[in-house]
Structure 1
Amino acid sequence: MNAQTISRILFWLLLGTILVISLMPATDAPTVFADDKLNHILAFFTLSLMARLLWTRTHAAILFVLLMALGGGIELLQLSMGFGRDADWWDFVADIVAILLGMLAGKLFWSMKRKRSATE
């Protein structure tokens, strides 16, 4: 298995982990930060950065829309669930900000890599 295949497997594992944590009862969900918005930013920044680095031939706008739909979909599912999860549209805003930052970080990474390759 090559590095890209392993990285894509890790991406899908991260996505699954985010879904499970986001949809389990809030009392059972593990957190990294005490502030819920920081947890959203960490999750969606990492997910969007990985997506941007792994799917370079996919237009950034498509990745952005797909990840934004994921964040919005999670909030809609939380809205409809009855066991300790509440939808918070500020969580969705945090997701969008994180997606934008992750996409930008991925773009900067590839730009720097191309410049470094051109000078070698």
Structure 2
Amino acid sequence: MNLARVSKLIFWAAMVFAFVMAILPQPPELPGQPNDKVQHMVAFAMLAALDAWAYARSDLWRLFVGLSFFGAFIEFVQAIPAIHRDSDLKDWIADTVAAALVLVIVRLWRWRRREEQPAP
């Protein structure tokens, strides 16, 4: 299995894990007990980094939109009463901001790498 496939597998496994944790009625407590917004931001920062790695040739704007929609989808599912979770617009905003920050950093890093490469 090549690195491109492995990176995609890791990204999609992380997406499934994030979704499952988001819809569990009683998710496990994390060490240090970070608040809900911190958990959202860490999860979506990691997803954005993995997404940019797995889909390195994709437009970062598309990755951002996909992650933002994923965050909105989680909040939509959490609004289903049978899930026994609370949906919060602020959680989606935290997801979107975290993804945006990481993808901006990735964009700057890519730009700098191109600038540093010698001209042919």
TM-score by length of 1: 0.85
Identical counterparts, % of pairs: 28
Deviation string 1:9-38 (CA, Å, 9 cap, x unpaired) is 11111111001000111x233435421111
Distance in structure 2 (CA, Å) of the matches to 1:107 and 1:101: 10
- Aligned positions, number: 118
Query: Could you tell me which residue of structure 1 aligns to residue 61 of structure 2?
Result: 61
Query: Could you tell me which residue of structure 2 aligns to residue 104 of structure 1?
Result: 104
Distance in structure 2 (CA, Å) of the matches to 1:72 and 1:40: 12
- 1:73-112 aligned at under 5 Å gives the runs 73-112=73-112
**Which residue identity does 1:91 align to in structure 2?**
D
Segments of 5+ residues of structure 2 without an aligned counterpart are none
2:119 matches 1:115: no
Distance in structure 2 (CA, Å) of the matches to 1:64 and 1:19: 17
Distance in structure 1 (CA, Å) of the matches to 2:109 and 2:54: 12
Instruction: Name which of structure 1's ranges 105-114 and 16-25 shifts more when overlaid on structure 2.
Output: 105-114
**Which residue identity does 1:3 align to in structure 2?**
L
RMSD over equivalenced CA pairs, Å? 1.9
